[in-house]
Amino acid sequence: MANPAEKFLKPEVIRNVSRLDLRAKFIVEGFLSGLHASPFHGFSVEFSEHRKYTPGDNISDIDWSVFAKTDRFYVKRFQAETNLTGYLLMDLSASMGYTYRQELTKFEYAISLAAALGYLMVQQQDPVGLIAFDEKVRESLPPKSRRTHLANILSVLARLQPTGLTDIPASIRQVSRMIRHRSLVMLFTDLLADAEPILKAIHRLRHSGHEVIVFHILDEAEADFPFQGIVELEDPETGEILTVDALGARADYLESVNAFRDQYKRDLFRARVDYVPLHTGMPFDKALMGYLLSRQRKG
pLDDT in tens, 99-124: 988 789 999 999 999 999 999 899 88
Residues 6+ apart with CB under 8 A from 89: 131, 132, 133, 172, 175, 185, 186, 187, 188
Assigned domain for 251 exists:
yes
The whole-number pLDDT of residue 51 equals 67
* Distance, CA of 95 to CA of 249 (rounded, Å): 21
Q: Are 176 and 241 part of one and the same domain?
A: yes
Assigned domain for 154 exists:
yes
The whole-number pLDDT of residue 264 equals 97
Q: What is the pLDDT of residues 127-167, one digit of tens each?
A: 999 999 999 999 999 999 998 999 999 999 999 999 989 99
The whole-number pLDDT of residue 280 equals 95
The CATH number of the domain holding residue 114 is: 3.40.50.410
* Distance, CA of 282 to CA of 231 (rounded, Å): 25
What letter would DSSP give residue 184? E
* Distance, CA of 217 to CA of 282 (rounded, Å): 10
Q: Are 110 and 32 part of one and the same domain?
A: no
Assigned domain for 193 exists:
yes
* Distance, CA of 263 to CA of 257 (rounded, Å): 10
Tell me the whole-structure pTM to 2 decimals: 0.82
At what angle are helices 246-270 and 195-207 packed, to 10 degrees? 20
Q: Are 289 and 38 in contact (CB under 8 A)?
A: yes
Assigned domain for 81 exists:
no
Q: Are 121 and 258 part of one and the same domain?
A: yes
Tell which of 55, 76, 97 closes a domain.
76
* Distance, CA of 65 to CA of 78 (rounded, Å): 16
The whole-number pLDDT of residue 236 equals 59
Q: Are 197 and 126 part of one and the same domain?
A: yes
Nearest to 96 by CA among 9, 24, 166: 166
Structural domain boundaries enclosing 283 = 86-297
Taking only the tens of pLDDT, the chain with its 299 residues reads: 455 667 878 888 998 998 999 999 999 888 877 764 444 333 323 334 566 766 767 777 777 777 767 777 777 655 334 578 999 999 999 999 999 887 899 999 999 999 999 998 998 889 999 999 999 999 999 999 998 999 999 999 999 999 989 999 999 999 999 998 999 999 999 999 999 999 999 999 999 999 999 999 999 999 998 888 888 877 656 678 888 887 888 888 899 999 999 999 999 999 999 999 999 999 998 888 888 777 666 55
Q: Are 143 and 117 in contact (CB under 8 A)?
A: no
The whole-number pLDDT of residue 156 equals 96
Q: Are 48 and 94 part of one and the same domain?
A: no
Tell which of 76, 105, 135 closes a domain.
76
Assigned domain for 50 exists:
yes
Number of H helices, E strands in the chain: 10, 10
Residue 93 backbone zone (phi > 0: left; psi -120 to 50: alpha; other: beta)? beta
Number of domains in the chain: 2
Tell which of 76, 102, 135 closes a domain.
76
The whole-number pLDDT of residue 193 equals 92
User: What is the per-residue burial (b if ≥16 Cβ within 10 Å, else e) of 81-98?
Assistant: eeebbbbbbbbbbbbbbb
